[in-house]
């Protein structure tokens, strides 16, 4: 699976992540996560990153046949990650779903339209049996909320992130969803 690449457009492609990429994935996330999110955490997000990007957790993510995990490449350079999961529902949903679990881009890639291109691609590439796409977004990320709203997502409920070391005032999350045609 390591060599599988999907061309999104002439500049953007996705490279499937394999267990052999565990260290590369962790290194990337330790570089691109803190500039945006470190201030939400008592420890700058280090414990969270160590847990989420541990080899054991990555193996678990990759062993789920409904989970798809990719490096985002822009002009051949790795600039982020994308993970989505089929058949994972939020509380109250009875639909066949696709959860957009992780979309992280390097800070210098944000605001260049890559997110919109990726979301448009995901919508077109999603199997027709999927009735709804959904995601979780921090209440304290108004720019992300606006972005998702521009992509057609609406807030459907609130929840809280259950994470050690996260400052209490940042634990509020929205669940946003978009019905598929």
What are the tens digits of pLDDT across the range 37-73? 999 999 999 999 999 999 899 999 989 999 999 999 9
Q: Are 146 and 99 in contact, with CB atoms under 8 Å apart?
A: no
- Which pLDDT band, with edges at 50, 70 and 90, does 163 fall under? confident
- pLDDT of 176 above 80: yes
- pLDDT of 109 above 90: yes
Q: What pLDDT, on the 0 to 100 scale, is given for residue 154?
A: 98
Query: What domains are there in the chain, each with its CATH number?
Result: 5-179 (3.40.630.30)
- Over residues 126-162, the pLDDT tens digits come to 999 999 999 999 999 999 999 999 999 999 999 998 8
- Three-state DSSP at 12 gives strand
- pLDDT of 1 above 90: no
Eight-class DSSP state of 175: E
Q: Are 109 and 125 in contact, with CB atoms under 8 Å apart?
A: no
CA-to-CA distance for 10 and 8, rounded, in angstroms?
A: 7
Residues 6+ apart with CB under 8 A from 80: 28, 32, 71, 72, 103, 104, 105, 106, 109, 114
Q: What pLDDT, on the 0 to 100 scale, is given for residue 107?
A: 92
- pLDDT of 100 above 70: yes
- pLDDT of 2 above 60: no
CA-to-CA distance for 77 and 120, rounded, in angstroms?
A: 21
**How much is the mean pLDDT over the chain?**
93
């Amino acid at each position: 699976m390591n060599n599988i690449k999907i061309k999104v457009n002439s500049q953007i492609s996705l490279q499937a992540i394999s267990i052999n990429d565990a260290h590369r994935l962790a290194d990337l996330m330790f570089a691109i996560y803190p500039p945006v999110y470190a201030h939400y955490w008592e420890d700058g997000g280090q414990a969270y990153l160590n847990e989420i990007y541990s080899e054991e957790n990555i193996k678990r993510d990759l062993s789920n046949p409904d989970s798809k995990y990719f490096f985002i490449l822009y002009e051949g350079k790795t600039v982020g990650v994308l993970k989505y999961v089929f058949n994972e529902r939020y509380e109250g949903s009875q639909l066949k779903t696709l959860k957009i679990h992780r979309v992280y881009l390097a800070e210098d890639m944000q605001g260049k339209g890559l997110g919109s291109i990726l979301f448009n691609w995901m919508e077109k590439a999603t199997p027709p049996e999927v009735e709804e796409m959904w995601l979780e977004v921090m209440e304290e990320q108004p720019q992300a909320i606006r972005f998702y709203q521009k992509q057609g997502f609406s807030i459907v409920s609130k929840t809280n992130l259950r994470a050690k070391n996260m400052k209490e005032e940042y634990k509020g999350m929205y669940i946003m969803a978009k019905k598929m045609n």
